[in-house]
Amino acid sequence: DQQVKQNSPSLSVQEGRISILNCDYTNSMFDYFLWYKKYPAEGPTFLISISSIKDKNEDGRFTVFLNKSAKHLSLHIVPSQPGDSAVYFCAAPRKNAGNMLTFGGGTRLMVKP
Amino acid sequence: DAGITQSPRYKITETGRQVTLMCHQTWSHSYMFWYRQDLGHGLRLIYYSAAADITDKGEVPDGYVVSRSKTENFPLTLESATRSQTSVYFCASSEGSLNEKLFFGSGTQLSVL
């Protein structure tokens, strides 16, 4: 039962363009979402989060949008840089399971110079 | 160095053997977690600990044992390794409640032959 899903396993974009990574969820009880970034041979690192009381949160080149009616969130990276090439995970705490974070399957982003 | 460290980085073992993965953090974070990363599944929580001597099961606890006698250490033991436990294992910690951002170690790549 994967309550957080990232349906695109990979995404390739040109340097300078926008990268859009998508995440869908099924549990309407989720009220907080996080994005993590992972480089090869390293652990994931926190990137940005959003509370369900907002529909947008921005941090520099990274913006997360939340559409609660569609149970969908997206991470926008503008402009994309080669150093952004990594695997991106969305995650949400499960309130019916002690708030443990449940992660999506990840999307591998490749930014071509 | 300060932070969260995992050892070993790589481990090869045989089915039926007992294996212990180590995790040490220097931040005095209350919460510690063990996740495994598998293709298509993202990160799945194995066990977590809210404080010394307090542990609880995550999504996929079968075949694993944890202990937390000291705040800074959270070892994960595979009592009798199986091929399905071949994975990359990440330890993480956080300061407060379970939905706060997690800080991950660099991971242990485990192969069970």
pLDDT at position B101: 82
A46·B102 Cβ contact <8 A: yes
A19 in helix, strand or coil? strand
% of chain A exceeding 90 in pLDDT:
82
Given a cut of 80, whether residue A93 has pLDDT beyond it is yes
Q: Does A42 touch chain B (CB under 8 A)?
A: yes
B42 closest CA partner among A71, A72, A97, A38 = A38
pLDDT at position B2: 63
Q: Does A3 touch chain B (CB under 8 A)?
A: no
Residue A96 — pLDDT band, cuts 50, 70, 90? Answer: low
Phi, psi of B16 (to 5 degrees): 90, -15
Question: What is the pLDDT averaged over residues A59-67?
Answer: 97
Q: Which residues contact B47 (CB under 8 A, 6 or more apart)?
A: B33, B34, B55, B56, B57, B58, B61, B64, B66, B76
Cα-based distances in Å from A16 to A22, A48, A86, A107: 19, 20, 16, 19
Q: Which CATH number do you get for residue A53? A: 2.60.40.10
Is the domain covering B4-100 a CATH 2.60.40.10 domain? yes
Rounded to a whole number of angstroms, the distance from the CA of B60 to the nearest CA of chain A is: 12
User: Can you tell me which residue has the tokens 């997206």?
Assistant: A74
CB A48, CB A64: distance < 8 Å: yes
pLDDT, tens digit (0-9, with 9 covering 90-100), for B49-83: 989 999 999 989 999 999 999 999 999 999 999 99
Domain that holds residue A74: 4-112
| Residue ranges of B 31-90 with Cβ closer than 8 A to chain A | 35, 40-45, 48, 56, 58-59, 90
Residue of chain B whose Cα is closest to the Cα of A34: B101
Domain count, chain A: 1
Residue of chain B whose Cα is closest to the Cα of A47: B101
Q: Average per-residue pLDDT in chain B?
A: 92
Given a cut of 60, whether residue B102 has pLDDT beyond it is yes
pLDDT at position A1: 63
Cα–Cα dist A24/B44, whole Å? 17
Beta pairing class for B108-112 and B10-13: parallel
